[in-house]
């Protein structure tokens, strides 16, 4: 019995001794007391364990290709914000991206070079790209480069590709020498009867339909750097029954715009000029009873502006300047004042009016001339 008790006490002392090396110590009287410990050791060890755990989780996340895991519809939407050339470069990302650009619904071809050899390379690139494209429908087709008449057949193929794909937005932003003249691109006749387009932007294109225009879905139209007759303008306005916005940029050849469309709400006239040497007293008349927003911007060359039937106008922006060829400076001021006064007479129903520097200066000189007569 005593042996068993001594054995038990011995085991208990050894147990205390083992614990004392970790958690306990003895005081001067031999009593066991709890050892004070340094909490920083436990914090640092716990922090290291946490860091190791986070590093492992981060590494696992980094290993995942979350962009490639997205649906093709989302990836197509992302690629649609890039130019076609940049979209093709994404095929190096992974196997999934290898042919993804072939199905992007937006095609954007741009070349800023003026040298013909670079333009020729750009045209070849566009031709090859369209051969590989596989999307059933094209939402937006944009071409922007310095046009040369020798490339007309290539542009014809591009336009044919876009219309066959039921394009919604067709932008032919061709560049050429300043002015209205030869070497414009002849817009193919099948474009004038396309029913899928909702947006059409044309610059440096001859707009000469052989028959009636049928743009039944078109809502926004921009025509720039070309000659437009009054008959063609009327054909456009009649053939686009749901047209809401019309912008004419550096166009010439017409002296009257008679806009009776009930759907057209916005008209922008930018840089109206007549390079054929029209007289300074020629007049551009605009009649638009349903227009709600009107903007006359940029340079107006040798033209007086007369606005009529603007009873629905909510906002008008006059940020233009008039250029005449009158040598007498005093007479020039008088002509400018008369142009502005006649223009403002047609804006009596406008609810809001904004004027640029030229209009403000002419208006102020007009006010001073009236004040000096008192």
Whether the pLDDT of residue 9 is over 60: the answer is: no
The predicted-structure confidence for 93-135, as pLDDT tens digits, reads as follows 666 676 777 778 899 999 999 899 999 999 999 999 999 888 8
State both tokens at 19: 């614990």
pLDDT for residue 332: 72
- The domain locations on the chain are 2-63, 72-372
pLDDT for residue 8: 47
Q: Where is pLDDT greater, at 174 or 181?
A: 174
Percent composition of the chain: helix, strand, coil (DSSP 3-state, to 5): 40, 25, 35
pLDDT for residue 177: 67
The predicted-structure confidence for 314-346, as pLDDT tens digits, reads as follows 999 999 998 876 554 556 778 888 889 899 999
Q: Where is pLDDT greater, at 252 or 293?
A: 293
The residues that bridge with 270 in the sheet, in sequence order, are: 249, 297
Indicate the helix (H) or strand (E) that contains 143.
Answer: strand 140-146
Whether the pLDDT of residue 2 is over 80: the answer is: no
pLDDT for residue 6: 52
Q: Where is pLDDT greater, at 72 or 235?
A: 235
pLDDT for residue 247: 98
pLDDT for residue 324: 72
- For helices 357-372 and 329-345, what crossing angle results, to 10°? 100
pLDDT for residue 131: 92
pLDDT for residue 54: 52
**CA atoms in the 13 A half-sphere facing the CB of 245:** 11
Q: Are 148 and 114 in contact (CB under 8 A)?
A: no
pLDDT for residue 46: 53
Read out DSSP for 276-318?
TT--TT-EEEEE-TT--EEEEEEEEES-EEEEE--TT--EEEE
- For residue 365, the Cα-to-chain-centroid distance in whole angstroms is 39
Candidates 110, 201, 108, 200; CA nearest to 147 is 110
Q: Are 172 and 202 in contact (CB under 8 A)?
A: yes
CA angle 295, 270, 245 (to 5 degrees): 55
pLDDT for residue 269: 96
Q: Would the CA dihedral through 122, 128, 133, 137 be positive or negative?
A: positive
Q: Are 163 and 194 in contact (CB under 8 A)?
A: yes
Whether the pLDDT of residue 374 is over 60: the answer is: no
Please tell me the distance from the alpha carbon of residue 81 to that of residue 107, in angstroms, as a whole number.
10
CA angle 238, 243, 244 (to 5 degrees): 140
The predicted-structure confidence for 206-251, as pLDDT tens digits, reads as follows 999 999 999 999 999 999 999 999 999 999 999 999 999 999 999 9
Q: Which one-letter DSSP state was computed for residue 37? A: -
Provide mean pLDDT across the span 176-198: 85
- For helices 116-132 and 152-164, what crossing angle results, to 10°? 30
Provide mean pLDDT across the span 265-275: 87
Do the bridges between strand 205-206 and strand 185-186 make them parallel or antiparallel, or are there none, so unpaired?
A: parallel
The predicted-structure confidence for 138-166, as pLDDT tens digits, reads as follows 999 999 999 999 999 999 999 999 999 99
Whether the pLDDT of residue 83 is over 50: the answer is: yes
User: φ, ψ for residue 171 (rounded to 5)?
Assistant: -120, 105
The top-scoring range by mean pLDDT among 38-42, 302-306, 367-371 is 302-306
Please tell me the distance from the alpha carbon of residue 192 to that of residue 209, in angstroms, as a whole number.
7
- Quick one: three-class SS letters along 74-105? HHHHHHCCCCHHHHHHHHHCCCCCCCHHHHCC
Other CB atoms within a 10 A radius of the CB of residue 19 amount to 14
**CA atoms in the 13 A half-sphere facing the CB of 15:** 6
């Amino acid at each position: 019995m005593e042996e068993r008790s001594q054995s038990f006490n011995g085991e208990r002392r050894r147990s205390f001794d083992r614990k004392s090396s970790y958690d306990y110590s003895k005081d001067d009287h031999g009593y066991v007391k709890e050892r004070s410990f340094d909490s920083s050791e436990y914090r640092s060890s716990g922090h290291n364990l946490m860091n190791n755990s986070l590093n492992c989780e981060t590494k696992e996340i980094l290993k995942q290709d979350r962009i490639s895991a997205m649906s093709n519809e989302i990836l197509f939407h992302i690629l649609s914000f890039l130019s076609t050339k940049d979209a093709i470069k994404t095929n190096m990302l992974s196997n999934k991206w290898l042919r993804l650009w072939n199905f992007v619904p937006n095609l954007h071809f741009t070349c800023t070079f003026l040298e013909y050899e670079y333009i020729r390379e750009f045209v070849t690139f566009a031709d090859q790209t369209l051969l590989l494209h596989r999307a059933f429908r094209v939402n937006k087709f944009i071409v922007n480069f310095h046009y040369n008449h020798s490339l007309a057949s290539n542009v014809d193929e591009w336009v044919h590709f876009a219309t066959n794909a039921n394009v919604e937005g067709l932008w032919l932003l061709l560049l050429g020498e300043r002015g209205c003249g030869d070497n414009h691109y002849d817009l193919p006749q099948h474009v004038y009867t396309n029913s899928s387009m909702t947006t059409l932007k044309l610059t440096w294109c001859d707009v000469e339909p052989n028959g009636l225009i049928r743009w039944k879905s078109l809502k926004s139209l921009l025509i720039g750097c070309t000659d437009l007759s009054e008959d063609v303008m009327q054909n456009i306005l009649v053939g686009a029954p749901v047209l809401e916005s019309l912008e004419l940029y550096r166009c010439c050849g017409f002296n009257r715009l008679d806009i009776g469309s009930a759907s057209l709400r916005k008209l922008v006239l930018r840089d109206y000029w007549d390079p054929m040497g029209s007289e300074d007293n020629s007049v551009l008349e605009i009649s638009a009873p349903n227009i709600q927003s009107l903007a006359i911007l940029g340079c107006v060359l040798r033209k007086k502006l007369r606005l009529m039937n603007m009873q629905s106008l909510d906002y008008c922006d006059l940020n233009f300047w008039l250029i005449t060829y009158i040598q007498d400076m005093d007479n020039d001021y008088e002509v400018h004042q008369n142009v502005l006064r006649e223009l403002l007479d047609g804006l009596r129903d406008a609810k809001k009016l904004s004027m640029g520097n030229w209009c403000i200066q002419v208006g102020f000189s007009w006010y001073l001339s009236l004040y000096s007569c008192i």
